[in-house]
Amino acid sequence: MFATQTQPIQFIEPDTRKPVFHIREIPVYGDLILAPMDGYSDLPFRSLCRELGSAMSYTEFVNVNQISYRKQVVDAILKFKYDPRERPITFQIYGNDENTLVEVAARLQDLEPDIIDINMGCYVRDIAERGAGSGMLREPGKIARVISRMAKLLRVPVTAKIRLGWDDNSRNYIEVAKILEDSGASLIAVHARTKEQAFRGEADWSAIAEVKHAVKIPVLGNGDVKTVADIARIKAQTGCDGVMIGRGAIGNPWIFSRRDRDQVSSAEKIALLRRHLALNLEFYGERAGLILFRKHASRYIHGIFGAADLRLRLLTCTSVAAFDQLVEEMGEPLHRPQGQV
């Protein structure tokens, strides 16, 4: 069975060339970075993206209350597991209480991350309306206090990921960016939409350009980067130091090698799908690993012969053996002689 045979990840060795940018004293040797995405940017997926060219790693975000109040601590710490070869590794956290944010960030240093990032961009109602995630954008004073305290207390750099504001009537991204820099943040990642937009509408790349012009620390541009051409366009339009890619990488991690989906053969897609599942099973165990992988599988098979018929079966598959059989069926057309039906 393929899923029990995990090929080792071939991490890119440290580059001896000039870094693209620094996060304080930490060099980053590339300009494409996998975005932190809850439910997606776990160790298995991050590892594959790093192998294909993502220049650094961000964990999924973790609610500081889970750690501070010992609720679901095991699940929270699982999200911070990383391979040392992923470095630089960034732990992303969120919360609405200033003291808890600072205290948990200080304790997380024991796990030896390179960077700690504060999520100020999550738009989910239960998070944002409680003053965490993008809810922090409504309280610039709190942002200043939290970042200042962390920058003075922590050994590692502090960074932040933001949106443009709460809604179109409160687009305060320039104010927030300047506060972050003045308070000691070492990098800002900008998702070019407001909280109210969520993922609707077009990302406003001109706002990223304004942030880049307003601060001296590195700026990552994020939003609507789906193709290699988009990478070139966002860099040319904004001058950003790096490009953070989220949804555009799900099912298409080859974008970090600057290859579009239609440049990747079906055989290569299936081979990586197999490896990804094997890594999931190794990391989470068979049952959870398969369930958590199904959402990735539906994206990997996009454009593959017979994908429409197999998608529902993959999404509802309950055993690794059955999943293996479905993947075998998916690969059969690849081995047919040319012209054979």
Distances, alpha carbon 277 to alpha carbons 85, 288, 292, 324, in Å: 20, 11, 9, 10
CATH code of the domain containing 311 = 1.10.1200.80
Dihedral, CA of residue 49, residue 50, residue 54 and residue 58, to nearest 10: 90
DSSP β-bridge partners for residue 89:
57
Distance CA 18, CA 32 (A): 15
Residue 120 belongs to some domain of the structure? yes
Residue 4 belongs to some domain of the structure? no
Are residues 277 and 242 located together in one domain of the fold? no
Are residues 240 and 274 located together in one domain of the fold? no
Write out the H or E segment, with its range, that includes residue 61. strand 57-63
Are residues 213 and 300 located together in one domain of the fold? no
**pLDDT for res 157:** 98
Residue 124 belongs to some domain of the structure? yes
Residue 208 belongs to some domain of the structure? yes
Are residues 184 and 321 located together in one domain of the fold? no
Among 203-207, 231-235, 318-322, the least confident range:
318-322
Catalytic residues: 122
User: DSSP class of residue 333?
Assistant: G
Are residues 247 and 275 located together in one domain of the fold? no
Backbone region of residue 317 per phi and psi (left: phi > 0; alpha: psi in -120 to 50; beta: other values): beta
Tens of pLDDT along 146-155? 999 999 999 9
Q: Nearest-CA neighbor of 117 among 190, 201, 166?
A: 190
High-pLDDT (> 90) share of the chain, %:
75
Average pLDDT of span 269-287: 92
Amino acid at 39: G
First vs last C-alpha separation in the chain: 28
Amino acid at 262: D
**pLDDT for res 331:** 61
Distance CA 156, CA 107 (A): 12
Are residues 311 and 234 located together in one domain of the fold? no
Contact (CB, 8 A) for 89 and 33? no
Q: Evaluate if residue 274 carries a pLDDT over 80.
A: yes
Q: Give the mean pLDDT of the chain.
A: 90
CATH code of the domain containing 94 = 3.20.20.70
Average pLDDT of span 218-229: 98
Q: How many domains does the chain have?
A: 2
Token output for 80: 């911070």
Residue 235 belongs to some domain of the structure? yes
Q: Evaluate if residue 122 carries a pLDDT over 90.
A: yes
Confidence of residue 335 (pLDDT cuts 50, 70, 90): very low
Average pLDDT of span 259-283: 92
Select from 225, 257, 289 the last residue of a domain.
257
Q: Report helix, strand or coil for 33.
A: strand
Tens of pLDDT along 279-323? 999 999 999 999 999 889 888 887 766 667 777 777 778 888 888
Tens of pLDDT along 2-57? 444 556 666 655 555 799 999 999 999 999 999 999 999 999 999 999 999 999 99
Contact (CB, 8 A) for 220 and 242? yes
Select from 191, 225, 257 the last residue of a domain.
257
Token output for 64: 């500081």
> What backbone torsions phi and psi does residue 295 show, to the nearest 5 degrees?
-65, -30
